[in-house]
């Protein structure tokens, strides 16, 4: 894979510097390390960025989740949340922004590079498939698929198990099962293979 440009958005300058050195040691180009959410779009408008490491807790009026919504909607760049948060409400909101992954602080030095490599590979793979948009899925449905349900469908499409989906989206297995039941009901399918077949059709 070609050398990737990484933007680090982290409110703690010491952690941001450590991340920069870590990534540069692994051959990545760190475009910038910034501490405020409001700076993100300025960087993305001026530089090519392949992936963003995004802290949920940022200085300023906007949170990392707010920034993630903008990145997903306007820039379509993969991002990985850096977070010390563990409350279910925050993680539920975060999962609805379609992150490429989570790294929980404090993290080990060797956690960063593999997580970035995997996120870039997955993003490249997804960009080459034909996973339908939420608007296309909802076009002829009576009961619409929600954003949270859509994120789960995307994970199923990627071939993940229920445990992997729950861990990746930071939701409980029971919450996942409830979402899947709702999805199956709305699409009139009864299993993951039927769901994937529906999406392909």
Give the domain CATH number at 45: 3.40.50.2300
Task: Look up the domain containing 67 and give its range.
Answer: 5-127
Residues 104 and 10 in one domain: yes
Count of domains observed in the chain: 2
Residue 152: predicted pLDDT = 94
Residue 107: predicted pLDDT = 84
| 7 contacts 43 by C-beta, under 8 angstroms | yes
Residues 24 and 106 in one domain: yes
Could you give the C-alpha distances from 95 to 16, 78, 139, in angstroms and in order? 23, 13, 23
- Non-local (6+) Cβ contacts of 100 within 8 A are 51, 78, 79, 80, 119, 122, 123
| 101 contacts 115 by C-beta, under 8 angstroms | yes
Domain CATH code at residue 173: 1.10.10.10
Segment (H or E) for 18: helix 13-25
Residue 192: predicted pLDDT = 86
Residue 125: predicted pLDDT = 64
Segment (H or E) for 185: helix 173-187
| 29 contacts 4 by C-beta, under 8 angstroms | yes
Residue 176: predicted pLDDT = 94
Average pLDDT of every residue of the chain:
87
Reported as a single tens digit per residue, the pLDDT across 31-87 is 999 998 889 999 998 898 999 999 988 877 888 999 998 998 888 889 999 988 666
| 78 contacts 84 by C-beta, under 8 angstroms | no
Residues 138 and 94 in one domain: no
Reported as a single tens digit per residue, the pLDDT across 126-156 is 655 578 889 999 998 999 999 999 999 988 8
Residues 140 and 92 in one domain: no
Residues 61 and 103 in one domain: yes
Give the mean pLDDT of 6-13: 94
Report d(CA 166, CA 176) in Å as an integer. 6
Q: What angle do CA 153, 192, 187 make, to 5 degrees?
A: 65
Higher pLDDT, 90 or 26: 26
């Amino acid at each position: 894979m070609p050398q990737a440009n990484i933007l680090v958005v982290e409110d703690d300058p010491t952690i941001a510097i450590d991340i920069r050195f870590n990534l540069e040691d692994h051959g990545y180009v760190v475009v910038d390390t910034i501490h405020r959410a409001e700076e993100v779009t300025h960087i993305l408008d001026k530089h090519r960025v392949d992936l963003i490491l995004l802290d949920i807790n940022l200085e300023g009026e906007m949170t990392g989740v707010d920034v993630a919504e903008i990145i997903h909607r306007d820039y379509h760049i993969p991002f990985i949340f850096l977070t010390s948060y563990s409350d279910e409400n925050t993680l539920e909101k975060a999962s609805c922004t379609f992150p490429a992954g989570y790294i929980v602080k404090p993290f080990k030095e060797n956690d960063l590079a593999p997580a970035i490599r995997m996120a870039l590979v997955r993003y490249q793979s997804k960009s080459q498939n034909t996973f339908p948009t939420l608007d296309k899925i909802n076009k002829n449905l009576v009961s619409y698929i929600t954003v949270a349900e859509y994120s789960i469908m995307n994970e199923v499409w990627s071939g993940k198990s229920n445990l992997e989906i729950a861990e990746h989206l930071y939701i409980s297995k029971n919450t996942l099962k409830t979402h899947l039941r709702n999805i199956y009901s709305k699409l009139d399918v009864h299993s993951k293979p039927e769901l994937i077949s529906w999406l392909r059709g």
